[in-house]
Amino acid sequence: MAAARSHTRYAPDRGLTARMATTMFLIGLLYVVFVGVLMALMRGAWPIILLIAGGLFIVQFWFSDRIAAYSMGAREVTPQQAPELHGAVDRICALADMPKPRVAIADSDVPNAFATGRNQETALVCATTGLLRRLEPEELEGVLAHELSHVAHRDVAVMTIASFLGVLAGVMTRVWLWGGLGRSSRDSSTAIAMILIPLVSAVVYVISFLLTRVLSRYRELSADRAAALLTGRPSALAAALTKVDGEMARIPTRDLRKAEPFNAFFFTPAFSSKESLARLLSTHPTLEQRLDQLGRISAQLGR
């Protein structure tokens, strides 16, 4: 049944599909190498390594949507509690011919939205109170269409899995250091492993971080494009982007700092930098890039 509903009216993006496949292949290869190195260095501890790696993967994949929603303060709402939000989601789902996700609201003045879920059947879409208060109905529909395209294209699940390796690297390093510090420093193999494991973990983290950032920036452009084509109103999405970006400057820095760890999930980042190096490490393309793409789509639709 799930397979029958996997196709939607969102425009397919072969570039996104190719990038997701490449990222998953490289991340998978890196994962195998990382676990192999750990097993070689930790020798008799391989059952613990496999247990931790497998347990973390299950938690990350199966419960990531709940963890993300809880961390960002999202609470599910009924159509009676949030009729405007549910109505907008209903219209987008009807346009896209996809199952309606769970709908949630996060009590935050930071104007943003996000979607989580392994697939269309487990998806959740959430808008903050700050976003709902600031956007016009057409602008809100543009944002929701953007978020639901992440679900339709399955890049939410790919980003969840891809980010797992960095989490694993950090956890494995801590486990080893806690266990290794109690061992005799005269054990040369332990001393070498104490040096190599943090080093290997750091390299793995950096590589997985860069791979997910490159994919993240492309998937945001892909979601903008898919939303604009689905709704036929790229100008509404552009207006929402411009408005949200401008409103971010009025949000207290402490609130933005709380939201910053979840940038990869959000419609727009809590912080954005115009520095070239920072832009390479950003989860999102620049506002100028996004508006330029929407302007081209608007011109094409107008012909």
Active site residues: 147
Q: How far apart are CA 48 and CA 45, in angstroms?
A: 5
| Long-range Cβ pairs for the range 270-277 (8 Å, 24+) | 270/110, 270/112, 272/245, 272/248
Report which DSSP code applies to 185.
T
Phi-psi region at 264: left, alpha or beta (left = phi > 0; alpha = psi -120 to 50): alpha
User: What is the largest distance, in Å, between two alpha-carbon atoms of the chain?
Assistant: 76
Concatenate the DSSP letters of all residues of 66-109 into one string. Answer: HHHHHHTTEEE--TTT-HHHHHHHHHHHHHHT-PPPEEEEE--S
| Long-range Cβ pairs for the range 214-218 (8 Å, 24+) | 214/19, 214/23, 215/19, 215/20, 215/23, 215/155, 215/158, 215/159, 215/162, 216/159, 216/264, 216/283, 216/284, 217/282, 217/283, 217/284, 217/285, 218/15, 218/16, 218/19
Rg of the chain over Cα atoms, rounded to whole angstroms, equals 21
DSSP-assigned beta bridge partners for residue 114: 126, 266
Q: How far apart are CA 198 and CA 169, in angstroms?
A: 9
